[in-house]
Amino acid sequence: MAGRYEQVYAAAKADPEGFWAEAARALHWTKPWDRVLDASNPPFYRWFAGAECNTCYNALDRHIEAGHGERIALIYDSPVTNTIRKFTTLELRDKVAKLAGALQAQGVQKGDRVIIYMAMTPEAVMAMLACARIGAIHSVVFGGFAPRELATRIDDAKPKLIIASSCGLEAGRVVEYKPLLDQAIEMAAHKPSSCLVFQRPMYVGPMTAGRDFDFDAESAKAPPADCVAVQATDPLYVLYTSGTTGIPKGVVRQNGGHMVALNWSMKNIYGVNPGEVYWAASDVGWVVGHSYIVYAPLIAGCTTLLYEGKPVGTPDAGAYWRVIEQHKVVALFTAPTAFRAIKKEDPKAELLKKYDLTHFRTLFLAGERADPDTVKWAEDALGKPVIDHWWQTETGWPVASNCMGIEVLPVKHGSPTRIVPGYDVKVLDDDGHPVKAGDIGNIVIKLPMPPGCLPTLWNNDEGFKKSYLARFPGFYNTGDAGFIDEDGYIFIMSRTDDIINVAGHRLSTGGMEEVLASHPDVAECAVVGVADALKGQVPLGFVVLKAGVTKPEEQILRELVQLVRERIGPVAAFKQAAVVKRLPKTRSGKILRGTMQKIADAQDYRLPATIDDPAILGEISEVLQPLGYAKRP
C-alpha cells in the first residue's frame, strides 16, 4: 500500500482544484472564489479567481476573533541591541492598524507600492503587514544592498512611499541606512511623495522637510485602519531577485494563493501547530523572511521569532541554541552557511551542552546546497531530524522536502527528498526530452504551478515568459540542474545560469561583471562563483586590462572590489579578482566561465572542443594559484 506521502501527492495531482479548495477553507474570505483555478489565459494561471480576502486579516485579526488575541505572535530577539520584546496578537494587530492608518494619511491606497528598506526589527514586520492591511503592495529591499540597487527597484516599483530604518547593525558597526536611502532617491528617476523613517537610537538620520516623516510619531497620531478587501489575485508584494543580468526581476506574489499555500505548508511540510514557536533565521529582505518569518507562521497561528543577530559572534557560536532554549522554538529554518559558521567556531558543539533543547523537533535547511558534511554534523550535534528542502524566490514555498506533517521519509544526504504535493517536477535534457532516473538535466515544473508561485513579473508579462517559460513550453524553468533518482528523490546540483549563492544570498555574476566592465581600465572581464568552505560560493573576478594602462594592478584590483561594494553592496562579498592577459573563449567568442570555475576549484574538466586557444587555461591556473585557488590537494 502507498504510504501517506504517496497518497497525498497523488490526491493533489489527481484533483488540484479540489485539493487546494479544501486547503483554502481554513482561511477567511470576504467573498468566495468563482473558480479555484482560472486557466482561461495560459500560460498565465490564476488561483482563487473572483475571491476577495485580506492577508493581514488572516495573519492577525482572524486569530483574535477566534479568541487567541493574547497569544504571542512575535518575539523579537536582538543580541546586537540586548533587547527581547514580545507582542501578543492583539498588540501586533493594533500597532499594524495604526501604522496602516499612517500610510493612509500619507495618501497610500490599495494597489500603491511601498518600498521597505529596514533592519530586522519588529517595525519591519509591522510595515509589511500594514501594507497588506490596506491592500498596498510592498517591496522589501534587503539592507545589504547599495543605493544604486535600491534606486533600480524604486524606478521599477514606483513607490508612493518608502518606509526605512535609520540604521542597521552589523558585526560591531552601525550601517547608516538613511543616507543610503537619500542617495538612492537622488539617483532614481521616480521620486516617492513621502518617507516614513523609523529612527533607532544608535543613529538618528537626517530628515528632509516635507518629504520625511517620523514612523513613531505618524503611527501614534493616526486612526487605526481596518482591513481592506482585495482580490485574491491582487499582488500582496513584489520581491526583486537576481536574474541573468544586472537588472533584478520583480517577482509578484498574489494574496489568495499565497496565504493558502503558506498555511498548508506550516502543518504539512514543517509539522508545526498553532501556538508553537517557529524560527526562520533569515532576513525579511529575502523570500525566506517574507514567507517564513512574516506570513506563514502568523497565518498559521504560530509565534514567529525575529532574530537580529548572526549565528556566530553575537556573542558566540551558541547563540542559536540559546534562542531555541529561551523561546521554546520547535522548528528552526536557516541556510547551511549558518551551520558551517557554527561548526567552524565550535567543531565539537561544546556550547550546545549548556542548553536544553529537548522541546526542539526539526532543523530545516535551504537557500543553497546542503553539503552532506554539514547535514551530518548538525544531525550528530542536535540528535534531531535535519531536513534539507529546496525552493526559490519565484515559487515562494518549498518545491521539494521531507514533509514532516505528512510522513517522515528516510533522509538521503545531498537530497532535499521528494517533490511536495501540488508540484509536478520533471528533469529534461536541453532538447526538452525527459531524462532517465539518475541522469542530470534541467529541472522544470509543469504548468500550472500550485498556488503561491509567481504568476508573472511586475509589469513584465513578456519578461516572465522569456525568462521562465520560453525554453521548455508547458513548463516553468527553475534554472537549477540536477536529477531525480529511482526512488523519486531529487538532487539539486548547480544553476544553469549565472546566478551564484553566497552565504545563502542569491546574486548575479552578470551584475558584477557589469560593474567591473564600467571601470575605465578594464577591457574585458568575467566573474565566476568559486567554492568557499564557509559561504558555499564566493565571487571571483577575472579582468583583462586595456592596453597602455600604467596604474599598478593591485590598485586597480582594490578599486574593483570597492566599486562592487559601492554599486551592489557588501552582501555581494566580492573580495577577490585577478588580472589575466586574456579570457578563455570559444571560437565564437563565448567566455568559458564554467571551465574557469572548474580550474579555480581544482576540479577535473573536459577541454571544450570549441576552445579558441587552450594555452590560456594554463595561464589562468598560474594566476590563480598564488590566490589560493586551482590547487589540487
From the list ligand COA, ligand AMP, none, which binds 398 (C-beta under 5 to 8 Å, kind-based)? none
Q: Where are the alpha helices (DSSP H) in 189-232?
A: 215-221
Residues 343, 506, 585, 593: which binds ligand AMP (CB under 6 A)? Answer: 506
Question: By C-beta, is 560 or 573 nearer to ligand COA?
Answer: 573
From the list ligand AMP, ligand COA, none, which binds 337 (C-beta under 5 to 8 Å, kind-based)? ligand COA
Q: In this structure, what C-alpha cell is assigned to residue 318?
A: 551558541
Smallest distance from ligand COA to CB 431, Å: 34
Give, in order, the Cα–Cα distances in Å from 361 to each of 301, 316, 391: 18, 23, 22
Q: In this structure, what C-alpha cell is assigned to residue 253?
A: 506574489
Give, in order, the Cα–Cα distances in Å from 444 to each of 249, 261, 477, 610: 19, 19, 5, 28
Smallest distance from ligand AMP to CB 488, Å: 16
SS3 call for 166: coil
Question: By C-beta, is 64 or 453 nearer to ligand AMP?
Answer: 453
Smallest distance from ligand COA to CB 318, Å: 14
Count of residues touching ligand AMP (by CB under 6 A): 20
SS3 call for 423: coil
Angle at 368 between CA 365 and CA 374, to 5 degrees: 55
From the list ligand COA, ligand AMP, none, which binds 426 (C-beta under 5 to 8 Å, kind-based)? none
From the list ligand COA, ligand AMP, none, which binds 390 (C-beta under 5 to 8 Å, kind-based)? ligand AMP
Q: How far apart are the first and last CA of the chain?
A: 49
β strands within 29-122, DSSP E:
35-41, 44-49, 52-53, 72-78, 83-88, 113-117
- Contacts with 505 (C-beta within 8 Å, 6 or more apart), sequence order: 144, 286, 367, 571, 573
SS3 call for 298: helix
Report CA torsion sign: 416, 419, 423, 427: positive
Question: By C-beta, is 118 or 266 nearer to ligand COA?
Answer: 118
Smallest distance from ligand AMP to CB 365, Å: 7
Give, in order, the Cα–Cα distances in Å from 439 to each of 8, 231, 399, 424: 26, 43, 19, 18
Smallest distance from ligand COA to CB 535, Å: 6
Question: By C-beta, is 37 or 335 nearer to ligand COA?
Answer: 335
From the list ligand AMP, ligand COA, none, which binds 144 (C-beta under 5 to 8 Å, kind-based)? ligand COA
Question: By C-beta, is 47 or 142 nearer to ligand COA?
Answer: 142
From the list ligand AMP, ligand COA, none, which binds 495 (C-beta under 5 to 8 Å, kind-based)? ligand AMP
SS3 call for 182: helix
497: phi then psi, degrees, rounded to nearest 5: -125, -160
567: phi then psi, degrees, rounded to nearest 5: -85, -45
Question: By C-beta, is 288 or 616 nearer to ligand COA?
Answer: 288
In the shown chain, the binding pattern of residues 364 to 403 toward ligand AMP, with x for contact by CB under 6 A and - for none, equals: --xxxxx-----------------xxx-xx----------
From the list ligand COA, ligand AMP, none, which binds 509 (C-beta under 5 to 8 Å, kind-based)? none
Q: In this structure, what C-alpha cell is assigned to residue 560?
A: 574593483
Question: By C-beta, is 408 or 544 nearer to ligand AMP?
Answer: 408
| Element spanning 536, H or E | strand 536-545
Asked if 237 and 137 count as a contact pair (C-beta separation under 8 A), the reply is yes
Smallest distance from ligand COA to CB 368, Å: 8
> Quick one: DSSP state of residue 107?
T
Q: Does 501 bind ligand AMP (CB under 6 A)?
A: yes
Q: How far is CA 355 from the centre of its chain?
A: 30
Quickly tell me which residue has 520584546 as its cell. Answer: 85
From the list ligand COA, ligand AMP, none, which binds 250 (C-beta under 5 to 8 Å, kind-based)? none
Smallest distance from ligand COA to CB 178, Å: 13
Smallest distance from ligand AMP to CB 390, Å: 4
Asked if 428 and 444 count as a contact pair (C-beta separation under 8 A), the reply is yes
What is the footprint of ligand AMP within residues 122-141 (CB under 6 A)?
Answer: none
From the list ligand AMP, ligand COA, none, which binds 393 (C-beta under 5 to 8 Å, kind-based)? ligand AMP
Asked if 318 and 352 count as a contact pair (C-beta separation under 8 A), the reply is yes
Q: In this structure, what C-alpha cell is assigned to residue 16?
A: 488540484
Smallest distance from ligand COA to CB 609, Å: 38
Q: Judged by CB under 6 A, which stretch of 361-369, 511-519, 542-550, 587-595 contacts ligand AMP?
A: 361-369
Question: By C-beta, is 182 or 388 nearer to ligand AMP?
Answer: 388
Question: By C-beta, is 367 or 451 nearer to ligand COA?
Answer: 367
From the list ligand AMP, ligand COA, none, which binds 99 (C-beta under 5 to 8 Å, kind-based)? none
Residue ranges binding ligand COA (CB under 6 A): 143-144, 168, 170-171, 175, 282-283, 286, 288, 310-312, 334-335, 337-338, 341, 367, 503-505, 534, 570-571, 573
- Contacts with 82 (C-beta within 8 Å, 6 or more apart), sequence order: none
Angle at 20 between CA 18 and CA 22, to 5 degrees: 70
Smallest distance from ligand COA to CB 144, Å: 3
DSSP per position, 199-244: -BTTBPPP--TTTEEEHHHHHHHSPPPPPPPEETTSEEEEEEE--S
Smallest distance from ligand AMP to CB 287, Å: 5
What is the footprint of ligand AMP within residues 404-423 (CB under 6 A)?
Answer: 416
Residues 59, 120, 312, 492: which binds ligand AMP (CB under 6 A)? Answer: 492
Residues 11, 18: Cα–Cα separation, whole Å: 9
Smallest distance from ligand AMP to CB 494, Å: 8
Smallest distance from ligand AMP to CB 100, Å: 28
SS3 call for 483: strand
From the list ligand AMP, ligand COA, none, which binds 112 (C-beta under 5 to 8 Å, kind-based)? none
Smallest distance from ligand AMP to CB 289, Å: 11
Residues 122, 306: Cα–Cα separation, whole Å: 7
Q: Where are the alpha helices (DSSP H) in 55-205?
A: 55-56, 62-65, 89-105, 122-134, 147-157, 177-187
Q: Report the DSSP beta bridge partners of residue 476.
A: 445
In the shown chain, the binding pattern of residues 307 to 346 toward ligand AMP, with x for contact by CB under 6 A and - for none, equals: ----------------------------------------
Smallest distance from ligand COA to CB 287, Å: 8
Asked if 596 and 526 count as a contact pair (C-beta separation under 8 A), the reply is yes
Closest CA to 234 of 414, 42, 31: 31
Binding site for ligand AMP (CB under 6 A): 241, 287, 366-370, 388-390, 392-393, 416, 478-480, 492, 495, 501, 506
